[in-house]
Structure 1
Amino acid sequence: MKKALLLSLSALFVLFSSCGSKKELLALQEKQKETQDLLNSATVKLNSCLEEKAAATAKASELEKRVADLRDNVQTYQTLTKTSATNVEKTLESMREKDLKITRLQDALTKKDSMTLALVTSFKREVGINDPDIEVNVEKGVVFISISDKMLFRSGSYNVTTRAKEVLAKVAKVVNAKPDFECMVEGHTDSRSYQSGVLLDNWDLSVKRATSVVRVLEELEVNPGRLIAAGRSSYVPLVDNDTAENRATNRRTRIVVLPKLDQFYELVEKEMKNLEAGGN
């Protein structure tokens, strides 16, 4: 009886002990599950943080590179700015020098024009000719005395008329009063064909008339070293050669009075030397 009771009590103890271990096991399993869930969550967060760190590191590297590039660009810009400033200053200095040279040359041209204007005023006053067939003017800074063909020559002739010699005597007087000027005589014809004796065409006629005037001026004691004879034929007309009146206008002799070129160039050269001396 006692033995049976002991066996029953032992069975009950084992039964109760078994039930307690199962509860603890279930509790532990539940705890493990919670811990695993926490671990999984932490792992996910860790991976996310690692990805964010990698992205931040890459962005930081990119920013550092951009900062380095900007520094290089700033240095390059500063260098270019200094170089550009130097080049601009040199350019401005060169422009100032050119402007000064231009001003000097303009002054030289103004002096030349003043001499020419003074000359034409003198011609108009001293020649004292009031005739529509004689014109005194200034073209491109040069004095021109244009004398109609009918006043100098008979038709088809290159012999100077007596009346023309009177006019040329006044011209010679004024030219002789201006020893620093040259005198060029230009013969001009109309466009009609011309041939007579040894004269083959309008070229011959225009040159022959120019030399005839030159010879008269030489007879009037104008220094022949200052005289130039030139023929222009019919190739520099004043008007179209379509009427008798226009052809008469184109048949003319021009006496061109101008400063000697070497004197003008000497004037310019002198101004340039003054400029260079002032620059140094």
Structure 2
Amino acid sequence: MKKLLILTLCSGLLLTSCVSKKKYSELETKQKQTQDLLNTATVKLNSCLTDKAAADARALALQERLADMKKTNEDLIQSSKDLTMLTSKGATNLEKSLESLKEKDLKISRLQDALTKKDSVTLALVSSLKKEVGMNDQDITINVEKGVVFISLSDKVLFKSGSYNLSNRANEILGKVATVINSKPDFEALVEGHTDNVPFQSGVLIDNWDLSAKRATAVVRKLMELGANPAQLIAAGRSEFVPIVPNTTADNKSTNRRTKIYVLPKIDQFYDMIEKEMKTLEGGN
């Protein structure tokens, strides 16, 4: 019996010892978890303190900036008060200047419209000449020079060498030119005679001036015979002094011997058109 009691007591003490170690382990685990939470909270607290310090620094900087802006605004308000009278006068002057600029812009626009209209007529004239005269002959050139349409005819097309008498072929070509001129009553035809630099004298002809002028007048007379209005025709001789290429070879000299027919709007009518536009503009104001 005594042995049984001792055995029972020992078993109770052993059981009690086992329970205490288990609780201790649990408490130790909880303590570790609590410590971890504390460490985490400490890290977060330090981070928050750092962020707060940065935010405080930004807030201070913003306050200083706001103070500067207020000061600047006050200065601007004061400057605005000081300049009120000058600003009012300046606004009036500026308004007048803007109105003047608008008027000038409108006038320029009108002039540009007139020039555009002229360019459109020029292109239409080139197309008409190319269609009527044709472009299959290398001795005939139709082009635009400084906004003016012209036909350039080699002397081989119109004249014999050293002569101002027109060839048979000239009737065909100049007849087509006369047709175009008649279709443009508001245009003029300026006929220019050009020679090379070889000295020339024959019969009544004294020099290349005479030859170039005689050739120009011969073309003008033929255009009249073919129906062109003489009031639209102008004859001019340029002699050897406006060459296309240097007179250094036979081919170059042949190139320089030519007759140019400029088909151009009457200058007075062109300026009348511009003047009309200007008067219309002034009337609109």
User: Aligned Cα RMSD in Å?
Assistant: 2.0
1:94 corresponds to 2:100: yes
Gaps of 5+ in 2: 1-78
Corresponding residue number in structure 2 for 1:123: 129
Corresponding residue number in structure 1 for 2:142: 136
Q: Is the contact between residue 207 and residue 232 of structure 1 (CA under 8 Å) also seen in structure 2?
A: yes
Give 1:221's match in structure 2, choosing from 205, 227, 230.
227
Q: Deviations over 1:135-182 (max 9, x none)?
A: 111222221010011111111111111112221111112222222221
Q: How far apart, CA to CA, are the structure 1 residues paired with 2:166 and 2:122?
A: 28
Give 2:194's match in structure 1, choosing from 188, 196, 202.
188
Q: How far apart, CA to CA, are the structure 2 residues paired with 1:89 and 1:147?
A: 58
Corresponding residue number in structure 1 for 2:267: 261
Q: How far apart, CA to CA, are the structure 2 residues paired with 1:87 and 1:231?
A: 56
What is the TM-score when the length of structure 2 is the normalising length? 0.67
Corresponding residue number in structure 1 for 2:208: 202
Helix, strand or coil at the partner of 2:185: coil
1:172 corresponds to 2:199: no
* Larger gyration radius, structure 1 or structure 2: 1
Helix, strand or coil at the partner of 1:144: strand
- Superposition deviation, residue 74 in structure 1: 9.4
Q: How far apart, CA to CA, are the structure 2 residues paired with 1:154 and 1:107?
A: 45
Q: Percent identity?
A: 68
1:157 corresponds to 2:163: yes
Q: Which amino acid aligns with 2:267?
A: L
1:51-130 matched pairs, under 5 angstroms: 80-130=86-136
Helix, strand or coil at the partner of 2:209: helix
- Superposition deviation, residue 81 in structure 1: 4.3
- In structure 2, do the counterparts of structure 1 residues 178 and 74 end up closer, same or farther at CA, with 3 Å as the change threshold? closer
- In structure 2, do the counterparts of structure 1 residues 78 and 201 end up closer, same or farther at CA, with 3 Å as the change threshold? farther
- In structure 2, do the counterparts of structure 1 residues 85 and 191 end up closer, same or farther at CA, with 3 Å as the change threshold? farther
Q: Is the contact between residue 135 and residue 141 of structure 2 (CA under 8 Å) also seen in structure 1?
A: no
1:245 corresponds to 2:242: no
Helix, strand or coil at the partner of 2:199: coil
What is the TM-score when the length of structure 1 is the normalising length? 0.69
Q: How far apart, CA to CA, are the structure 2 residues paired with 1:78 and 1:195?
A: 84
Helix, strand or coil at the partner of 1:145: strand
1:5-84 matched pairs, under 5 angstroms: 80-84=86-90
- Superposition deviation, residue 197 in structure 1: 2.0
- Superposition deviation, residue 192 in structure 1: 2.2
Q: How far apart, CA to CA, are the structure 2 residues paired with 1:232 and 1:275?
A: 41
Gaps of 5+ in 1: 1-72
- Superposition deviation, residue 76 in structure 1: 8.7
- Superposition deviation, residue 87 in structure 1: 3.2
Q: How far apart, CA to CA, are the structure 1 residues paired with 2:126 and 2:184?
A: 11
Q: Is the contact between residue 175 and residue 181 of structure 1 (CA under 8 Å) also seen in structure 2?
A: yes
Deviates more, 1:79-88 or 1:255-264: 79-88
Q: How far apart, CA to CA, are the structure 1 residues paired with 2:254 and 2:203?
A: 22
Q: Deviations over 1:29-71 (max 9, x none)?
A: xxxxxxxxxxxxxxxxxxxxxxxxxxxxxxxxxxxxxxxxxxx
Q: How far apart, CA to CA, are the structure 2 residues paired with 1:167 and 1:129?
A: 12
Give 1:146's match in structure 2, choosing from 146, 149, 152.
152
The number of residue pairs the alignment matches comes to 207
Q: Is the contact between residue 194 and residue 259 of structure 2 (CA under 8 Å) also seen in structure 1?
A: yes
Q: How far apart, CA to CA, are the structure 2 residues paired with 1:234 and 1:127?
A: 27
Q: Which amino acid aligns with 1:169?
A: G
Give 2:242's match in structure 1, choosing from 218, 236, 244.
236
